[in-house]
């Protein structure tokens, strides 16, 4: 058990009542250090940072009547062989004379673990000593890759709350700089700058110049926003690690979804490595007329959002959900999102961020019902409950099955024909729509249960544009390995409804 007491700075907040669960933000990435045994070798490290939302903490009094917080942090790193690293930390904040002073502390921590190349699951649990049921969980996965041995390679991008030159001996100091991580991909209205850093590591045996571009865009690696781009030229030598810092003035960036990108190119302008980081900007300031032109035309469509105004989610419909529920909700939204929203959701699913995901979910429904996003969400949950009841698959929620997806996206079919005992055929269903909710056209869906499958029905063939068309559906449907039969039946229900469609 390790005792760590961390006080990084002061955060001016109003004292609030503790919520029903510990709230925090966390972020992770792969960064580099020199190998301790061989100076020219580079060591990859998984870095994990978190920060507690003070309004969710139950501050206690010590024997002297001073206020402090007492938390436990459990971290496990595992791969396909099992747990490779496990630590438990006891975090006690310095005692303060008043509750306000205790509340104004930044309660945060950062950990770094040297790790070999491979795929890892991170499990972090954070809770207060006397409130073990009110825990915060963070469960992302991460890949540690290797270089090609010839070109420089990039670390992940780290968003920073602040950075400055410092010789202090803290967990946030590296190479003479104090780097206080933001611990979230959410840039709120209080921040006028986007601070970030990243590393360029080189396995090269000779010094070579490379160009590094850092820029903000609406989609990963797409056209940079005007005035939001830096270009660095660095000379990489064997075993070198360069850390680059930049800040973008974000006062003119309106609320929306963006990507922060770093691209490394060689002397012939070929990309040798690149990294991207999804973030969301919330901005209540009025954009000046000189910069407002950046947000017109096609770029406005690409941002795929309106101005968002909800910051404190505690009393909204998303405030009550825990990380696993947030993850499930994001998967539900994949069924009805547009392509840009889908890219954002998949990014969240790969790199979970509870607080940021909640903001996305709220904004998703506010976009669809500006006056009452809660009502829009509740209506959708009723539909999800109906689908889960109708089509619960083997080990899957109903909305995750093929039939559940079609039901959500196209509505209830006008005709549903269930065929379980047709000679020579596997069990199947036919859904006929006279006009679908999604496309306003008629269509037919054919689902079947393959072979000896104990799972749910799978979509075999559809006549709706954009769905799977399988001209070989007869060969698969009339292949009953269970009975040994498989004769084509010209009078079958499937043939009558689909025929040559």
pLDDT in tens, 382-394: 999 999 999 876 6
pLDDT single digits (tens) 252-271:
998 888 999 999 998 888 99
Question: What's the pLDDT at 376?
Answer: 94
CATH architecture label of 1-146:
Sandwich (2.60)
pLDDT single digits (tens) 101-126:
998 888 999 999 999 999 999 999 99
Least Cα distance to 356 among 18, 135, 25 occurs for 25
Q: State how far the Cα of 444 lies from the Cα of 53, in Å rounded to an integer.
A: 51
Question: What's the pLDDT at 403?
Answer: 94
**CATH code of the domain occupying 148-153+178-303:** 2.60.40.3880
90's CB contacts (< 8 A; 6+ apart) are 1, 2, 3, 4, 70, 71, 72
Q: State how far the Cα of 261 lies from the Cα of 234, in Å rounded to an integer.
A: 17
Instruction: Give the DSSP per-residue string, 354-406.
Output: HHHHHHHHHHHHHHH-SS-HHHHHHHHHHHHHHHHHH--BTTB-GGGSHHHHH
315's CB contacts (< 8 A; 6+ apart) are none
Structure token digits, residue 466: 């954009």
CA quadruple 165, 170, 175, 176: dihedral, nearest 10: 30
Which residues in the chain show pLDDT less than 70?
1-20, 36-40, 204-207, 287-312, 393-394, 436-441, 452-455, 480-490, 500-501
φ, ψ (nearest 5 deg) of residue 274: -155, 150
**Residue boundaries of the structural domains of the chain:** 1-146, 148-153+178-303, 304-390, 399-497
Same fold, 1-146 and 148-153+178-303: yes
Q: What is the DSSP letter of 54?
A: G
């Amino acid at each position: 058990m390790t005792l760590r007491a961390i006080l990084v700075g002061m955060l001016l907040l109003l004292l609030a009542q503790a919520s029903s669960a510990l709230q925090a933000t966390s972020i992770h990435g792969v960064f580099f250090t020199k190998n301790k045994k061989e100076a020219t070798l580079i060591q990859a490290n998984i870095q994990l940072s978190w920060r507690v939302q003070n309004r969710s903490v139950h501050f206690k009094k010590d024997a002297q009547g001073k206020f402090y917080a007492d938390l436990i942090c459990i971290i496990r790193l595992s791969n396909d062989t099992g747990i490779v690293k496990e630590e438990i930390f006891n975090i006690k904040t310095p005692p303060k004379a008043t509750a306000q002073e205790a509340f104004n502390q930044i309660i945060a921590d950062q950990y770094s673990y040297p790790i070999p190349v491979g795929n890892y699951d991170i499990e972090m649990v954070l809770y207060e000593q006397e409130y073990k049921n009110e825990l915060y969980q963070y469960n992302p996965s991460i890949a540690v890759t290797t270089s090609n041995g010839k070109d420089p390679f990039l670390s992940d991008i780290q968003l920073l709350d602040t950075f400055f030159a410092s010789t202090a001996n803290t967990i946030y100091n590296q190479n003479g700089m104090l780097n206080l991580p933001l611990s979230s991909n959410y840039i709120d209205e209080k921040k006028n700058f986007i601070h970030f850093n990243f590393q360029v590591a080189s396995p090269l045996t000779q010094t070579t110049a490379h160009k590094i571009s850092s820029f903000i865009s609406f989609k990963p690696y797409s056209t940079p926003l005007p005035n939001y781009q830096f270009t660095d030229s660095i000379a990489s030598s064997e075993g070198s690690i360069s850390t680059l810092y930049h800040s973008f003035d974000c006062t003119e960036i309106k609320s929306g979804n963006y990507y922060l990108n770093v691209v490394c190119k060689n002397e012939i302008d070929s990309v040798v490595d690149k990294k991207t980081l999804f973030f969301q900007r919330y901005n209540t300031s009025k954009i000046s007329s000189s910069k407002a032109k950046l947000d017109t035309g096609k770029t406005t469509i690409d941002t795929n959002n309106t101005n968002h105004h909800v910051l404190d989610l505690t009393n909204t419909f998303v405030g009550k959900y825990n990380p696993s529920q947030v993850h499930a909700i994001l998967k539900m939204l994949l069924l009805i999102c547009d392509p840009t929203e889908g890219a954002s959701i998949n990014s969240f699913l790969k790199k979970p961020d509870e607080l940021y995901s909640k903001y996305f979910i709220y904004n998703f429904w506010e976009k669809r019902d500006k006056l009452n996003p809660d009502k829009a969400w509740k209506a959708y949950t009723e539909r999800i409950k109906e689908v889960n009841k109708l089509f619960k698959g083997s080990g899957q929620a109903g909305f995750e099955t093929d039939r559940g997806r079609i039901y959500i996206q196209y509505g209830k079919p006008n005709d549903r024909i269930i065929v379980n005992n047709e000679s020579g055929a596997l069990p199947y269903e036919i859904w006929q729509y006279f006009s679908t909710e999604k496309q306003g056209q008629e269509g037919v869906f054919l689902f079947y249960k393959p072979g000896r499958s104990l799972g749910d029905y799978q979509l075999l063939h559809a006549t709706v544009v954009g769905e799977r068309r399988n001209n070989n559906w007869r060969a698969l449907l009339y292949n009953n390995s269970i009975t040994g039969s498989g004769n084509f039946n010209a009078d079958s229900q499937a043939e009558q409804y689909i025929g040559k469609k």
